[in-house]
Amino acid sequence: MEDNEIIELYWKRDEVAILETDKKYGKYCSKIAYNILASVEDSEECVNDTYLHAWNALPPNRPNIFKAFLAKITRNLALDKYDSKTAQKRNNSMDLVYEELEDLTLTMEDEDGTTTECELQFVFEYDGQDYGAFCEAENETGEFYFFSIDGSTNWKGETELEIAPVEDDALLEQLVDVLQQIIDSEMSDIDVEDEDDAEEDEDDSVWDEFINKKLED
- CATH code linked to domain 3-87: 1.10.1740
pLDDT for the residue 47: 93
Which residues are within 8 A (CB) of 182 and not within 5 positions of it... i.e. 6 or more apart?
122, 124
As a whole number, the mean pLDDT across the chain is: 78
> 68-72 long-range contacts, Cβ below 8 Å, gap at least 24?
70/21, 70/25, 70/28, 70/29, 71/28, 71/29, 71/32
pLDDT for the residue 39: 84
pLDDT for the residue 103: 66
pLDDT for the residue 20: 93
pLDDT for the residue 135: 82
Domain ranges for the chain: 3-87, 103-216
Taking the chain (217 residues) in runs of 10, the rounded mean pLDDT of each run is 92 93 92 85 92 92 89 88 67 53 73 80 82 75 81 62 88 90 72 53 54 51
Cβ–Cβ under 8 Å, residues 189 and 183: no
State the greatest distance between any 2 C-alpha atoms of the chain, in Å, as a whole number: 87
Cβ–Cβ under 8 Å, residues 129 and 148: yes
pLDDT for the residue 214: 45
Helix (H) or strand (E) segment spanning residue 110: none
pLDDT for the residue 55: 93
Output the DSSP codes for 166-185. Answer: ---HHHHHHHHHHHHHHHHH
Q: Strands 159-165 and 115-126, how do they pair?
A: unpaired
